[in-house]
Amino acid sequence: MTWADASARRLARSHLTDATATDDPARICADVLGIHAQVMSAAELSIGVRAEALTRTDVRDALWHRRTLVKTRGPRGTVHLVATDDLPMWIGALSAMPRARSPHPEHVRMTEEQTEQVVAAIADAVADAELTVDELTEAIVQRAGPWAGDRVMEAFQDKWPRWRQAESLAANRGALCFGPDRARRTTYTSPRRWLPGFRPAPPDEALSALVRRFLQTYGPATPAQFARWLGAPAGWATTLFGNQSELAQVDFEGESAWINAGDTGTAGDAAPLRLLPYFDSYLIGCHPRAALFSGAAAARALTGGQAGNIPALLIDGRVGGVWHQRRSGRKIAVTVEPLADLSAGQREDLQVQAVRIGQILDGTANLTVGKVDVGAHA
């Protein structure tokens, strides 16, 4: 399989070829295996650029009112929007992953017993409530003890309470997810309020489904690439792939990679020009990096080999520039820096995409083609 073959499949299966294919935010999130939502406006853009008419209002409605989406910790421990119907698979798979060694100093770390106490306290506290971090801290201290609230974790020029080092683990086990903001303050609640009768899928079943779904959208891929996307040990992922009976190996640009058995079809539609925001799933899920970020894109659009920290201009399925948007009221200034000269047709497409950015964010966009002087997102 060539890069062109793989790129065409990935674009189509990531809803980046045909914006008329669906207007369902949950379907998009399911097909791309989650939308990174550390920056909520970027998540809204990631969904919006994959549909013809969706706006941030539609995304928020799906998340907070219809509850077909849930905001939780997903791959790599980062905040994601995932389809609510996929939540049993996600929790079953993430809870079965090997736990990484704590990066915190010894005086900050919790013991295994303390960690289990905190996870249980979180689950009990949010079972029928939406709590801010301060309210949740108080509830955990009441249930586990004062040590859980000690402000010892270095975080963003501040110190967080000790219990927060177990936040991702609690989310991975289905003990908590995010609730709607309250006066611009984050709240936490129970995923069982999103999906009544929620029960995690059995671990082996969930992991097998996750591998197949990943390869469906981002294959061909190696176990190491899957591990990097998920935030798991490479050796563990190699064993996981080896235990799957429905996979097949192909030659992908001279290297051995995996696809789902029988999934050899390719898409024939023309590759679109797209403006992809911070941490877009396509940028993070596709490998090899050297093909997606070829030439000058490697230096301009990657940060230490990491994809997603800089919004990208996608041309013919490869990163062909960077961009940035700055909002002032309803006005949105979109600056795009191509890495090569654009044709007249590409400039027209770029204008259409900039207008679409404004529509998604409920504003009016003004396009400038020039130097982007904003650095990478942390």
- The full 3-state SS of 311-341, as one line of letters, equals CEEEECCEEEEEEEEEEECCEEEEEEEECCC
| Closest by Cα among 10, 3, 9, 5 to 276 | 10
In a domain, 209, yes or no: yes
Q: What pLDDT sits at residue 378?
A: 61
pLDDT tens, residue by residue, 199-214: 999 999 999 999 999 9
Residue 105 structural domain:
100-174
In a domain, 170, yes or no: yes
Can you tell me the mean pLDDT for 151-172?
Answer: 91
In a domain, 308, yes or no: no
Can you tell me the mean pLDDT for 285-301?
Answer: 95
Least confident of 6-20, 205-219, 266-280: 266-280
One domain, residues 254 and 212: yes
Q: What pLDDT sits at residue 271?
A: 73
Taking CA atoms, 360 is separated from 45, 80, 244, 281, in Å, by 7, 19, 40, 18
Query: Residue 55 in contact with residue 132, Cβ under 8 Å?
Result: no
In a domain, 117, yes or no: yes
In the listed set 219, 243, 260, which residue is the last one of a domain according to the structure?
Answer: 260
In a domain, 363, yes or no: no
Looking at the chain, the whole-number percentage of residues with pLDDT higher than 90 is: 88
Q: pLDDT at residue 155 above 90?
A: no
In the listed set 260, 275, 304, which residue is the last one of a domain according to the structure?
Answer: 260
What is the C-alpha to C-alpha distance for residues 249 and 96, in angstroms, rounded to an integer? 25
Looking at the chain, the whole-number percentage of residues with pLDDT higher than 70 is: 99
Can you tell me the mean pLDDT for 248-277?
Answer: 89
One domain, residues 155 and 216: no
pLDDT tens, residue by residue, 53-102: 999 999 999 999 999 999 999 999 999 999 999 999 999 999 999 988 88
- The full 3-state SS of the chain, as one line of letters, equals CCHHHHHHHHHHHCCCCCCCCCCCHHHHHHHCCCEECCCHHHHHHHHHCCCCCCCHHHHHHHHHHCCCEEEEECHHHCEEEEEHHHHHHHHHHHCCCCCCCCCCCCCCCCCHHHHHHHHHHHHHHCCCCCEEHHHHHHHHHHHHCHHHHCEEEEECCEEEEHHHHHHHHHHHCCCCEEEEEECCEEEEECHHHCCCCCCCCCHHHHHHHHHHHHHHHHCCECHHHHHHHHCCCHHHHHHHHHCCCCEEEEEECCEEEEEECCCCCCCCCCCCCEEECCCCHHHHHCCCHHHHCCCHHHHHHCECCECCCCCEEEECCEEEEEEEEEEECCEEEEEEEECCCCCHHHHHHHHHHHHHHHHHCCCEEEEEECCCCCCCCC
Q: What pLDDT sits at residue 305?
A: 87
Q: What pLDDT sits at residue 76?
A: 94
Instruction: Please state the domain count of the chain.
Output: 2
Residue 231: count of CB within 10 angstroms of its CB: 15
Q: pLDDT at residue 103 above 90?
A: no
Our measurement of the distance from residue 298's CA atom to the centroid of its chain's CA atoms, rounded to an integer in Å, reads 21
Confidence of residue 165 (pLDDT cuts 50, 70, 90): very high
Which CATH number does the domain housing residue 250 bear? 1.10.10
Query: Residue 195 in contact with residue 210, Cβ under 8 Å?
Result: no
Q: What pLDDT sits at residue 265?
A: 79
Q: pLDDT at residue 269 above 70?
A: no
Cα torsion through 17, 292, 353, 267, rounded to 10: -10
pLDDT tens, residue by residue, 120-143: 999 999 999 999 999 999 999 999
In the listed set 155, 174, 193, which residue is the last one of a domain according to the structure?
Answer: 174
In a domain, 251, yes or no: yes
Indicate the average pLDDT of the chain. 95
Token pair belonging to 341: 């000269």
In a domain, 135, yes or no: yes
Phi then psi for residue 101, to 5 deg, are -65, 140
Q: Side chain identity at 250, as an amino acid letter?
A: V
One domain, residues 170 and 229: no
Question: Length of the chain in residues, anyone?
Answer: 378
Q: pLDDT at residue 303 above 70?
A: yes
In a domain, 197, yes or no: no
One domain, residues 153 and 114: yes
What is the C-alpha to C-alpha distance for residues 139 and 378, in angstroms, rounded to an integer? 31
